[in-house]
Amino acid sequence: QAVVTQEPSLTVSPGGTVTLTCGSSTGVVTSGHYPYWFQQKPGQAPRTLIYDTNNKHSWTPARFSGSLLGGKAALTLSGAQPEDEAEYYCLLSYSDAHSGVFGGGTKLTVL
């Protein structure tokens, strides 16, 4: 089974910009992996931020954006807010759009 890798932890200053990445052990991540990004705060269920690489839900703050960058999926946060401190998970699909492998998560600290 493929392994999906994320940075274990990142720190960003309030108002700053940070990019989280999501890589695959099988090689280059493409739109065909239908990359998702989820945000999870302590004691809460995850919430979807980005789907299919760069699509946002109506509740996704404009400061979050998804892309493909350097062979990986990427989540960029521009203008970090204290409430963005959370665990972020990516999900990649390998055989079709109906199953997937999660990354290990990135703990984002806003400090």
Partner 1 sequence: EVQLVESGGGLIQPGGSLSLSCASSGFTFSSYEMNWVRQAPGKGLEWVSYISIGGSTKYYADSVKGRFSISRDNAKNSLYLQMNSLRAEDTAVYYCVRGRFDPWGQGTLVTVSS
Does 103 contact partner 1 by CB under 8 A? yes
Does 35 contact partner 1 by CB under 8 A? no
Residues of this chain, 47-66, that bind partner 1 according to CB under 8 A? 47-48, 51-52, 57
d(CA 97, CA 58): 21
Taking CB under 8 A as the criterion, the residue among 7, 20, 38, 108 binding partner 1 is 38
Q: How far is CA 17 from CA 31, 78, 86, in A?
A: 24, 4, 15
Single out the segment in contact with partner 1 by CB under 8 A; choices: 11-19, 39-47, 61-69, 73-81. 39-47
Alpha helices in the chain (DSSP H): none
